[in-house]
Structure 1
Amino acid sequence: MVHAEAAAMIRIVFFDVDGTLMTDKQIPDSARQAISLLKEHAIIPVLATGRPEYEMHAVREQLGIDWAVTCNGAHVGRHGQTVTGTPFAKEQIREWVRLAQTTPGHTLLLYGGQNIYSTRAIADCPHFTAADREIGFLEPLPFEQAETLPEIYQCILFAPQEEEAPYTAHLQEQLYLHRWRTSALDLNPLGVNKATGVQKLLDHLNIPVEQAAAFGDGNNDLEMIGHVGLGIAMGNSTPELLAVAKQVTRHVREDGILHGVQQFILNRSCSLRT
């Protein structure tokens, strides 16, 4: 018989990346230490990000992390290879690509399982360039025809908010939208968010959600932080995320990941084991 205390032990921890595991495009040494501590205690670290697998390769390699929930939950991969996912319909991608290619100033970034693609280069779109300065992107691959693209799991529309209607107005009941700056909008299939991706991996690994923890800082982490057994907000989180988190750790620039792992996960797990 499994006691309630044992069932509550944390076995897996999901980490948002930008503003959580990374700051100023770098992984703090203290965050590296936190990941090592988790692995020493046989706790699985997982990336959970709005970015694609392609952009997470270097982060996974540096930290020795096997699993990643990417594209805001639409893609789950191991060692960079697709395990499961929820792609867009091909017809939808063709329509968005046509709009972006024919509308001046608009750029559509498309996330596949192993690569990223774009209707324009970063330097050719001021909105894309501004976002790149903020968080950094790898240069996407160009393409000419939407028919040549693989399965696409997430898109980012770089365009002013007042110009997004042709892409989204007729699809409100089919899309999950997350605007993370005035000229950048995440597009995911409806019902897809970080929590759904997290749950797919938990089901795959046969780990109860009560034994999962997660760290985040932004509004695209809301569902994930509220879903897992232990949702931890960074000190630099949005007010909305702070309101739903079970615990709050320090700011990302104040060793927030290491503090949260030591204070809320390892102390908790060790006390439950004794």
Structure 2
Amino acid sequence: MKALFFDIDGTLIDPNIGIMHVPESVKTELQRLKNLGHKLFIATGRPKAMLNEDLLSLPMDGYILYNGGVIEVEDKVIYENKMDYELAKATCDMLEKLGSDYMLETAHHIYINPSFHELYDFFKELGMEKMFSLDFDRDEVLHRTIKVEANVKHQDYDLLEHHLEHDFGYMIKNDEHGSDHCFEFYSPTISKALAIERVLNYYQIPKKQSYGFGDGDNDIEMFNYVKHSIAMGNASAEVMAAADITTDTIENDGLAKILKVLIPS
């Protein structure tokens, strides 16, 4: 039995180049591998609330979400790495002082104050507003928060960095990604590699039977852990250098091609 871990953006789909749905060739290969008895997992920085029906319909055995902050196996959450409540509260208080929109992300839901128009309207324009819960008790949700995601204006970057350095130190991790204004805050102990290790232990699958597929910088940690690492042809040079193998690009059916080669029937 093998365990295969798949990134989403740039690997299964790529909205940046108009690939909004998983190619049928990939779906066919995933089902073939499933029928052979292998275990399949999505390994993503996204919360489950940001997985559409197309992604959720794939024959996956589980999900590594928030880059390892949540592990769900066979519809059961087996691990959560929640933010410390006081740090989560201090993060939100800091963002409110800056006038920055933010949302709270838990294992199953995303919460946002609808008055945070910039962030809410951004996702509404993408047709994703249904993923939000709008009526909630902030304090109660903070006890379950995995990640805080926020929009921070350029003029507030220096102030944000001052807060992070002097008020949080190494107790909180933050990443800038996506748009110019998007920051994520979460526990520094979140790790895709540790999450994969937990999944392998759960199924008692040896590490030598593990495969990771991705294209982004957050996949390098996964590549350094799994036995077999495969970069997409659309990955950066740094990501390719961290992988054992580089396949073709997503638009040239790279994932389906390499699955046929690596794990033939």
Give the deviation of 1:223 after TM superposition: 0.3
In 1, Cα distance between the equivalents of 2:27 and 2:129?
22
Q: Which runs of 5+ in 1 are unaligned?
A: 1-9
The residue number in structure 2 matching 1:254 is 252
Q: Structure 2 counterpart of 1:22, which letter?
A: I
The residue number in structure 1 matching 2:152 is 159
In 2, Cα distance between the equivalents of 1:67 and 1:34?
17
Question: Which residue of the other structure, out of 125, 131, 150, is the alignment partner of 2:118?
Answer: 125
In structure 2, relative to structure 1, the CA distance for the partners of 1:93 and 1:176 (3 Å cut) is closer
Q: Structure 2 counterpart of 1:96, which letter?
A: T
The residue number in structure 2 matching 1:27 is 22
Does the 8 A contact of 1:54 with 1:80 survive in 2? no
Give the alignment's TM-score, normalised by structure 1.
0.82
Does the alignment pair 1:219 with 2:213?
Answer: no
In 2, Cα distance between the equivalents of 1:101 and 1:252?
40
Does the alignment pair 1:146 with 2:146?
Answer: no
In 2, Cα distance between the equivalents of 1:179 and 1:131?
21
In 1, Cα distance between the equivalents of 2:238 and 2:64?
22
Does the 8 A contact of 2:12 with 2:250 survive in 1? yes
Does the alignment pair 1:109 with 2:103?
Answer: yes
In 2, Cα distance between the equivalents of 1:69 and 1:97?
25
| Residue aligned with 1:63, SS | coil
Question: Which residue of the other structure, out of 149, 159, 170, is the alignment partner of 1:173?
Answer: 170
**Residue-pair matches, total:** 255
Q: Which runs of 5+ in 2 are unaligned?
A: none
In 2, Cα distance between the equivalents of 1:158 and 1:246?
36
Question: Which residue of the other structure, out of 9, 14, 37, is the alignment partner of 2:5?
Answer: 14
Encode CA deviations 1:178-237: one digit per residue, 9 max, x unaligned.
322332223231131211211111121111222110111111111011110011111111
Encode CA deviations 1:34-75: one digit per residue, 9 max, x unaligned.
211211221111010111122236245311223000011110
| Residue aligned with 1:96, SS | helix
Give the alignment's TM-score, normalised by structure 2.
0.85
| Residue aligned with 1:152, SS | coil
Q: Bigger CA drift: 241-250 or 74-83? A: 74-83
| Residue aligned with 1:220, SS | helix
Give the deviation of 1:33 after TM superposition: 1.5
Identity percentage of aligned residues: 20
In 2, Cα distance between the equivalents of 1:262 and 1:152?
39
In structure 2, relative to structure 1, the CA distance for the partners of 1:34 and 1:49 (3 Å cut) is same
| Residue aligned with 1:125, SS | helix
Give the deviation of 1:171 after TM superposition: 2.7
Q: Bigger CA drift: 41-50 or 22-31? A: 22-31
